[in-house]
Amino acid sequence: MKVHNSSIMPALFFIVFYAIAWTFASYLFDPSVPYDAIEALNWASNYEFGSPKNPYLVGAVMLPALFFNKLIPFDFYWYATHFLAISIGMFGIWLLSLRLFYCHVMAFFP
């Protein structure tokens, strides 16, 4: 099944809006970052990028936070990267449901 560009635009608009809205809401209304953010920053600063018990990608994603800490606040970077990952997952689920059901209504975006 081929997905037309016109059918992707409403989905992308919703997903981008979702990620931006939740990033700013979390950044503005949550006064502190979770403990996992400090742990991921510690992994990035030591170039460990995780352990077998914890995911490896989190430390690698947090590595730019060390280099751009003067330009982007750490808590904003933490929330932006997480909601970017969530939005990529949402787009993948939308494409999967569109491919399985062949229907835009069943894929949530009319």
Range of the domain at 29: 10-101
Residue 106 included in any domain: no
pLDDT band at 2 (very low <50, low <70, confident <90, very high): low
Mean pLDDT to the nearest integer, 78-102: 88
Q: How many domains does the chain have?
A: 1
Q: At what angle are helices 57-67 and 74-101 packed, to 10 degrees?
A: 140
Give the N- to C-terminal CA distance of the chain in Å, as an integer. Answer: 17
> pLDDT-based confidence at 1, cuts 50/70/90?
low
- Residue 78 CB burial class (10 angstroms; 0-12, 13-18, ≥19): buried
pLDDT tier, 39 (very low <50, low <70, confident <90, very high otherwise): confident
**pLDDT above 70: residue 108:** no
For residue 110, pLDDT beyond 80: no
98/110 Cα distance (integer angstroms) = 11
Averaged pLDDT for residues 5-19: 81
Q: Is the pLDDT of residue 5 over 60?
A: no
5 in a structural domain? no
d(C-alpha 102, C-alpha 105), whole Å:
9
Task: Answer yes or no: is 2 within a domain.
Answer: no
Two structure tokens written together for 7 = 């059918």
